[in-house]
Structure 1
């Protein structure tokens, strides 16, 4: 994240991932212009840190993190 006040989420919708090899068919694309709020960067960093801890705990318990 940068210190920009405005940013754009780029959201893609795809078809089924069944039989996924190397290409994904994009069905729809949406660009959402957003405005940052005070301390948003810190909130995002904290969220990612929480996800990282959750994944590490999951893996330490012997669970796999499977890719698509």
Structure 2
């Protein structure tokens, strides 16, 4: 059994957000998000059949969309 490495601070661990967070942040549909992920435009983590998103990746995607 391995012990948890307590040398890493809790601040360094990034929370992964659900698709509902991205929908609210971008004010768009689940389909739009799924298509952006499929095109490789929006990075995502797949946990089974669920998608999770890094806030940093979402913010970077928003900046790329800026006209």
TM range (shorter): under 0.3
Task: Considering fraction of residues, name the structure with more helix.
Answer: 2
The structure having more radius of gyration, on CA atoms, is: 1
Greater fraction of residues in strand: 1
Q: TM-score, normalised by structure 2?
A: 0.26
